[in-house]
Amino acid sequence: MNVLSFLGANVVKCKTRIFVSSVNSRAVEEFTRWAASCSESSAAFNGGEGVAGVMVKKTDPADVTDVSFAYMSPGDSVSIVSNSYLPTFSRSVTVPREAFDQALASNVSEPYVAMFRLLNMAQDERNSTVLGDEVLAVEMGAEITNLTQQINIHFRNMTYTGTPSCHSWNGEGSRPNWTSHGCRTVFNGTNVSCECTHLTFFAILMIAVNETISSSDLKNLTIITQAGCGLSMFFLSIVLFMHFLLRRTKATDTSRILVHLVLAMLLLNLTFLTNNFVAELKSAVGCKIMAVLMHYFMLATFMWFAAQAFHLRLQMNRGPDVRIRHYMAKVSLTCWLIPSVVGIVLLSLGKYGELVIYTDDPADNVAMCWITDGNAQYIVNIGYYALVFIFTFASFIFILSWLYCLKRIKADATQVNKSGSSIVTVMGLCCLLGLTWGFAFFAYGVLRIPSYYIFTVLNSFQGFFLFIYYYTTSHPRETNSGTSGSTSLEGTSRITTIPVDLFNPYDNVPEKKMSSLKTSQE
């Protein structure tokens, strides 16, 4: 169909040597220069394989109206059509009059609008699937934003799998960095529509079904997460308050390691709660900084989980008094430094930015500042935690075996019903060693949504159980078991009551029985 067949004009191909091989800011500059240099009121554009476009100028302000572009298939030429003919085309773009008004207000001498279609462009860093492999660009020679009359993009009678989501990109960088900000997605069966408030590059990304979540589940998980993070922060703050302001004894290595873990987890929860607020500011630099900070504190939390497991194993092998030169300095340097190296490397590679959590209703999509590269996400986070999990889980099994032996040795002592305290013990150890994070491994297939709920609920109690652990190990009380002269693992006072005797392997165990236990372990 003729480019200007519905306007009664002829197609003119302005002379050009532009060949666009990738979608970037240079392409925008080339498009703008071509449109400005073209003296015709309308023209077709051919910039190389897979690149085509149409431009129309509005020299008379009184003649400014909505302009619509359309074509049937990726191989067809782009046409300028009247709005009444739009439903007959499978692809169409409509630019409202308000956009021309903004262009005139920007002192553009000859208002124009150009629409370009680019096929099979370079993949973004997330290897996103683009509907029809078609990227559309709309250019007017001025910055057009905050339109109340949106730019409408329609794809009709399309066959696709997954959930379509309209995205835009400002052209910065060598590879596309798509964002859903400023665009609303409406899809019904085989028809997909985008309503955008600005001019730039546009594409409809296809989100795999297993990468989306229902709006109701997302809202429920958000409420649980926010409440859980707030609850954890409350108890973690109490731990820090007690340690630095209320503590009356000298801090041991055990309590210092726990406080480092509490601090890392508190900052992780804080950055998580403020993440969405920063993402909504739409500041690229601010979002990257937030993503780096949250990722750093998450990796630091993982490291302190491993440090807890290492310290407990060391105590069981060497006794409660670990004598290693500059022990805490070495542990602290390792746990805080390694995550920073990982964060700096990923930041230098440009792996941080805005990440969108997709739902079955595009209106409920949520943005956050995080790692935008899926491969980096799996390699760094899943791989990193997998190593920590293997070590902490092995330590967990070893500690439970140790505690079982202790219960048998103390069978002759006066006991109370410990079923409840034993549950607290196991949950406390799981939180202390970060085992509850292991449910992230099951976030696939039919177990994906249930694992999200289990993961969220269990991690909501991390701060509470760490508070219980710190309080009981830091505030020992004498019991009536007749062993008040024994020394606890902490070495800060006498014995402690249940469940601390389960947390601390050396607590409440007479020396003769401790010797026999060590002999049996050997």
On whether residue 1 sits in a domain, the answer given is no
On whether residue 230 sits in a domain, the answer given is yes
Spacing of C-alpha 191 from chain mean position: 30
Choose the final residue of a domain: 207, 225, 241. 207
On whether residue 17 sits in a domain, the answer given is no
Q: What is the pTM assigned to this prediction?
A: 0.67
On whether residue 273 sits in a domain, the answer given is yes
pLDDT tens for 58-72 read: 767 677 788 999 999
On whether residue 232 sits in a domain, the answer given is yes
Q: How far is CA 377 from CA 136, 305, 346, 371, in A?
A: 29, 20, 10, 6
pLDDT in single tens digits along all 522 residues of the chain:
333 333 333 344 554 444 444 555 566 666 667 766 777 777 877 766 677 788 888 767 677 788 999 999 888 888 888 888 888 999 999 999 899 888 888 877 778 888 888 887 766 766 778 888 888 988 888 888 889 999 999 999 988 888 888 888 887 777 777 888 788 888 888 899 999 999 888 888 887 665 678 888 999 999 999 999 999 999 999 999 988 887 766 778 888 898 999 999 999 999 999 999 999 888 889 999 999 999 999 999 999 999 988 988 888 777 666 678 888 999 999 999 999 999 999 999 888 988 888 887 777 888 899 998 877 888 888 888 999 999 988 888 888 887 777 776 665 554 444 544 555 566 667 767 888 888 877 777 677 888 888 888 888 888 888 888 888 777 654 333 434 333 333 333 332 333 334 344 334 344 444 444 444 444
DSSP secondary structure, 354-385, as one string? EEEEEESSGGG-EEEEEE--HHHIIIIIIHHH
**CATH number assigned to the domain comprising residue 118:** 2.60.220.50
* DSSP 8-state code for residue 491: -
Q: Do 372 and 502 fall into the same domain?
A: yes
Q: Do 253 and 355 fall into the same domain?
A: yes
Q: Do 203 and 217 fall into the same domain?
A: no
Is residue 385 within 8 Å of 437, Cβ to Cβ? yes
Domain residues for the domain of 386 are: 213-521
Q: Do 200 and 338 fall into the same domain?
A: no
Residues near 262 by beta carbon (within 8 Å), at least 6 away in sequence: 236, 239, 240, 466, 470
Is residue 499 within 8 Å of 508, Cβ to Cβ? no
**Tokens linked to 481:** 């078991």
On whether residue 440 sits in a domain, the answer given is yes
Q: Residue 333: what pLDDT?
A: 95
CA distance 238 to 36: 65
CA distance 496 to 508: 7
Q: How far is CA 431 from CA 254, 264, 298, 420, 466, in A?
A: 15, 14, 14, 17, 7
Q: Do 258 and 399 fall into the same domain?
A: yes
Q: Do 36 and 150 fall into the same domain?
A: yes
Q: Do 93 and 111 fall into the same domain?
A: yes
Q: Do 235 and 182 fall into the same domain?
A: no
**CATH number assigned to the domain comprising residue 353:** 1.20.1070.10
On whether residue 157 sits in a domain, the answer given is yes
Q: Do 30 and 64 fall into the same domain?
A: yes
Q: How do 212-213 and 352-359 pair as beta strands?
A: parallel
Q: Do 128 and 185 fall into the same domain?
A: yes
Q: Do 195 and 337 fall into the same domain?
A: no
Residues near 383 by beta carbon (within 8 Å), at least 6 away in sequence: none
Q: How many domains does the chain have?
A: 2
Choose the final residue of a domain: 163, 182, 207. 207
Q: Do 186 and 221 fall into the same domain?
A: no
Choose the final residue of a domain: 207, 224, 250. 207
On whether residue 14 sits in a domain, the answer given is no
CA distance 33 to 55: 12
Is residue 403 within 8 Å of 425, Cβ to Cβ? yes
